[in-house]
């Protein structure tokens, strides 16, 4: 993701290990309830007075950990027998700040993409966790018409041409996609062949979500599964209506041409 993208805190539940310095480096199991590059919202089973210094260990996703992050409690309160603390980070490196900013920003970015606009931050986080960032050079094929589809792509930066061979065997451009556009979504539901080709029009970075990872995520989250089911039903319905409209226009044009020639 481009680090210049605007970021903000996102609401997300994430397990965290919390070492409280004032209690002799005692270790607590906590839950991060929101996160941004400047700090976190934390739930822990003990009250942490403002000014308390802590260390926090947490994992963005498998293989992406931040350990011994220094924090200072700036606000605390109790509600429903739980203790909530607002914690500011103090020793993040520039790279760690960038990593958190980019990651939270990408969650916000995903929520602007049509299939995911109804998702909560937490649900969008699940999708981000299975999204791999891939890069293509200018003119490089992303996939070819007739190949087996296995992934959805979202354009982060750059442009992508969707092309299809005409009756003479030449590639015709059907659409040019830019930042925020998506393509290949049918592959998340079906193992059929690609109906068109996709080629990078310029250097492009994309999110790629494979059918296998998408299926596993839905199997583990019923609420997200139902949301995504209705989203794709809506997308497919709109595509079908659009196709019907194009076919009707082509038929009407053909009949007019035949009438004039007759």
Question: Do residue 154 and residue 198 come from a single domain?
Answer: yes
Alpha carbon distance, N-terminus to C-terminus of the chain = 58
pLDDT score, position 88: 95
14 and 102, same domain (yes or no):
yes
CA–CA separation, 107 and 27 (whole Å): 30
Domain with 171, as residue range(s), is 130-220
CA distance 104 to 128: 9
Question: What is the band of 6 on the pLDDT scale with cuts at 50, 70, 90?
Answer: very low
CB atoms within 10 A of CB 8: 13
**Cα 257–Cα 259–Cα 262 angle in degrees, nearest 5:** 110
The CATH number given to whatever domain includes residue 157 is 2.60.120.10
pLDDT band at 253 (very low <50, low <70, confident <90, very high): low
Kindly indicate the confidence band of residue 221, based on its pLDDT and cuts at 50, 70 and 90.
Answer: confident
Q: Do 204 and 153 sit in the same domain of this protein?
A: yes
Q: Is the pLDDT of residue 259 over 60?
A: no
Strands 82-89 and 39-44: antiparallel
CATH value at residue 103: 2.40.10.220
- pLDDT for residue 72: 95
The confidence band for 120, taking pLDDT boundaries of 50, 70 and 90, is very high
The answer to whether residues 15 and 98 belong to one domain is yes
Q: Are residues 153 and 81 in the same domain?
A: no
- pLDDT tens for 86-114 read 999 988 888 888 888 888 888 999 999 98
What was the pLDDT predicted at 256?
A: 57
Q: Which residues contact 59 (CB under 8 A, 6 or more apart)?
A: 14, 15, 65, 66
pLDDT of amino acid 5: 42
How large is the average pLDDT for residues 196-211? 93
Distance separating alpha carbons of residues 126 and 60, to the nearest angstrom:
11
pLDDT in tens, 43-68: 999 999 999 999 999 987 767 788 89
**Residues, the chain:** 262
DSSP class of 86? E
What confidence category does residue 236 fall into, taking pLDDT thresholds of 50, 70 and 90? confident
Do 68 and 149 have their domain in common?
Answer: no
Does one domain contain both 35 and 89? yes
User: Quick one: 203 and 238 in the same domain?
Assistant: no
DSSP 171: E
In a domain, 88, yes or no: yes
What rounded mean pLDDT belongs to the chain? 86
pLDDT (tens digit, 9 = 90+) per residue, 71-90? 999 999 998 889 999 999 98
**Residues 103 and 14 grouped into a single domain:** yes
Is it the case that residue 228 has pLDDT exceeding 80? yes
Domain count, the chain: 3
């Amino acid at each position: 993701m481009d680090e210049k993208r605007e970021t903000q805190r996102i609401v997300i539940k994430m397990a965290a290990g919390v070492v409280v310095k004032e209690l002799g480096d005692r270790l607590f199991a906590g839950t991060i309830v929101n996160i941004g590059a400047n700090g976190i919202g934390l739930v822990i089973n003990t009250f942490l007075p403002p000014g308390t210094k802590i260390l926090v260990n947490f994992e963005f996703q498998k293989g992406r950990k931040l350990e011994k992050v220094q924090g200072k409690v700036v606000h605390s309160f109790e509600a429903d027998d739980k203790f909530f603390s607002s914690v500011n980070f103090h020793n993040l490196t520039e790279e760690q700040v960038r990593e958190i900013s980019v990651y939270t920003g990408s969650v916000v970015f995903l929520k602007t993409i049509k299939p995911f606009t109804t998702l909560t931050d937490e649900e969008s986080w699940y999708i981000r966790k299975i999204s791999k960032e891939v890069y293509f050079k200018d003119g490089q094929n992303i996939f070819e018409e007739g190949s087996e589809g296995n992934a959805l792509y979202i354009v982060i930066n750059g442009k992508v041409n969707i092309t299809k061979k005409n009756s003479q065997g030449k590639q015709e451009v059907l659409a040019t996609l830019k930042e925020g556009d998506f393509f290949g979504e049918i592959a998340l539901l079906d193992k059929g062949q690609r109906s068109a080709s996709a080629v990078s029009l310029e250097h492009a970075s994309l999110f790629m979500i494979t059918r296998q990872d998408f299926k596993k995520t839905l199997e583990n989250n019923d609420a997200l599964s139902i949301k995504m089911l209705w989203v794709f039903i809506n997308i497919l319905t709109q595509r079908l209506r659009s196709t019907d409209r194009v076919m009707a226009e082509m038929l009407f044009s053909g009949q007019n041409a035949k009438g004039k020639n007759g």
